[in-house]
Amino acid sequence: MKKLILISILIVATKNIYSQNQVNNKAMKTAKELLQAYHSSIQNPDAAASLFATDGAIELPYLASLGQPWRTEGPENIKNMIASLLKMAPDFKFINIKYYIETPDQVFAEYEVNCLFNGKPYKQFIYGTTCGREGKIKLLQEV
């Protein structure tokens, strides 16, 4: 009888642990969800930067042609980079977003930017890939 009670307790405890892990996994965002959140929050540097892991980075090679660093690491630096970008392009936003490849940890998409940059028309067609880890962006690369 004691063995039966012990087995029952172990089964209930295992179910509870499994259920909690399922809840935690559902709360964790996929790479696509992270990229979608980044795109929709680009006008809010704090919100966009909060999506990145503490060692997360963003690589935007085209910024080098604008005299800006092409790689930015860490949420605080990413927040400052986005804020700086928005000063030059206040209406900056992503449009026509299409997702082509997605796994829980990676996503590949194409999207566009069409705004004024320092008062001049700016159109950019972008391919982006995002690697997620533990519900945060580890690396976002755009070309």
Range from 7-21, 51-65, 106-120 carrying the lowest mean pLDDT: 7-21
Q: How far does Cα 60 stand from its chain's mean position?
A: 14
7 is a domain residue: no
Distance CA 29, CA 105 (A): 9
- Predicted model pTM: 0.79
pLDDT digits (tens, 9 = 90+) for 80-91: 999 999 999 999
- The mean pLDDT of the chain is 86
Q: Is the dihedral of CA 142, 114, 102, 130 positive or negative?
A: positive
Number of domains observed in the structure of the chain: 1
- How many residues appear in the chain? 143
| In a domain? residue 83 | yes
Residue-wise pLDDT tens digits, 24-52: 445 689 999 999 999 999 999 999 999 99
| Domain housing 58 | 29-142
* Residue 15 maps to a domain: no
Asked if residue 22 belongs to a domain, the reply is no
CATH number of the domain within which 72 lies: 3.10.450.50
